[in-house]
Amino acid sequence: MIQEIKSHIEEVEAFQSEDLQQIEEFRIKYLGKKGLMNDFFKAFKEVPNEEKKEFGKTLNQLKTLATDKVKQLKETIESKQEEKGIYGDLTRPAEMAPIGSRHPISIVKNQIIEIFANIGFNVSEGPEIEDDWHNFTALNLPEHHPARDMQDTFFVQRDPKDILLRTHTSSVQVRYMEENQPPIRTISPGRVFRNEDISARSHCIFHQVEGLYIDKKVSFSDLKQTLLYFTKQLFGKSKIRLRPSYFPFTEPSAEVDIYWGLETETDYRITKGTGWLEIMGCGMVDPNVLTNCNIDPEKYSGFAFGMGIERIAMLLYQIGDIRMFYENDARFLEQFKSSI
């Protein structure tokens, strides 16, 4: 009987196949419930005592070889199928990709654009690298004007002509007025740059949305009603106030505050106990700006406004540090997966 087992060992060692059905039949023949291994184990008690040791050793060798052979042949077939399937099987389940999300700056910018689009404002864009005329001079800021110190500038080139990174998107409005005649109703979202220290409340790179409306008989009350509509749509707040301020390109000028309320401890903290929050600057377009852009100030008037998108986003999402917008921390960005 030992010789019979050894003959099966030779048969197992010689067996090769790439057919899964043949491999399964081979497994059943040797390792199935009614296979040869069970028959040999049952015959073990009939083996003479002096032969049992060699019989058991040979039988275990057969079982190990048969088990390993089945495993090896199946793995070889699966490996070939896997390699072929990587490119060939289009029904193969794809690996799930992580779900991305919009950046909070993009979310807020798109909300602002949509709100103003509903009342007829289009979107205008311009270059981030500007010349002195469009960034300063045309906006009533001639050379050596003290108000230029309000905006610390990154200069790219000083001679023979000042080239700089734009400090506001008002430069886009200048270009738009140069190329279009009233009526003009446009908003200019974009990235701007100022040479400022980076802290929790300020950054050298940030985003603005500036609006411009030029037409006949445009009044300050038109400006106020437009801003009231905007604050109702974005914040759900219906109470605003305009405080006198100064901007070189608007006259009169004002800062816009919304009444945030004092319902929670957070409200007290962010409004410093007043209930009011500043959200933007605005004013009537200075006649000199219209003249610089070849628009007749005797015939047309208009208003302009501008806001920082980061500041709006910080209010809407209660974000305490502006630097979080630029660190690309996945834990922070994942919070906006459900946002529009």
What letter would DSSP give residue 149? G
How far is Cα of residue 333 from the mean position of the Cα atoms in its chain? 7
Sign (positive/negative) of CA torsion 322, 324, 325, 326? Answer: positive
Q: How far apart are CA 144 and CA 201, in angstroms?
A: 29
**pLDDT of amino acid 182:** 94
**pLDDT of amino acid 133:** 93
> Tokens in use for 117?
């689009």
**pLDDT of amino acid 67:** 87
**pLDDT of amino acid 89:** 62
Q: How far apart are CA 323 and CA 117, in angstroms?
A: 30
Residue ranges of the domains in the chain?
A: 2-88, 104-336
| CATH of region 104-336, choose from 3.30.930.10, 3.40.50.620, 3.40.50.12780, 3.90.45.10 | 3.30.930.10
**pLDDT of amino acid 81:** 66
Alpha-carbon separation of residue 282 from 26, 141, 224 (angstroms): 86, 17, 9
188-214 burial, b for 16+ CB within 10 Å, e for fewer?
bbbebbbeeeeeeeebeebbbbbbbbb
Contact (CB, 8 A) for 335 and 316: no
Burial of 164 (0-12, 13-18, 19+ CB in 10 A): buried
> 309-317 and 220-235 are packed helices; what angle lies between their axes, rounded to 10 degrees?
40
Mind listing the pLDDT tens digit of every residue in the chain (340 residues)? 677 777 778 887 888 888 888 888 888 887 887 777 777 777 767 777 777 777 778 778 878 888 888 888 888 877 776 655 555 666 767 777 777 788 999 999 999 999 999 999 999 999 999 999 999 999 998 777 776 666 688 889 887 788 999 999 999 999 999 999 999 999 999 999 998 888 888 889 999 999 999 999 999 999 999 999 999 999 988 899 999 999 999 999 999 999 988 888 888 888 889 999 999 999 999 999 999 999 999 999 999 999 999 999 998 888 888 999 998 888 888 888 765 5
Helix extents (H) in the chain:
2-14, 20-31, 36-42, 49-88, 104-117, 132-135, 170-179, 220-235, 265-271, 287-292, 309-317, 330-333
User: Helix or strand or coil: residue 37?
Assistant: helix
**pLDDT of amino acid 57:** 81
What is the Cα gyration radius of the chain? 39
How far is Cα of residue 239 from the mean position of the Cα atoms in its chain? 32
**pLDDT of amino acid 85:** 53
Sign (positive/negative) of CA torsion 26, 31, 37, 38? Answer: negative
- Smallest CA-to-CA distance from 283 within 240, 227, 238 is with 227
**pLDDT of amino acid 220:** 96
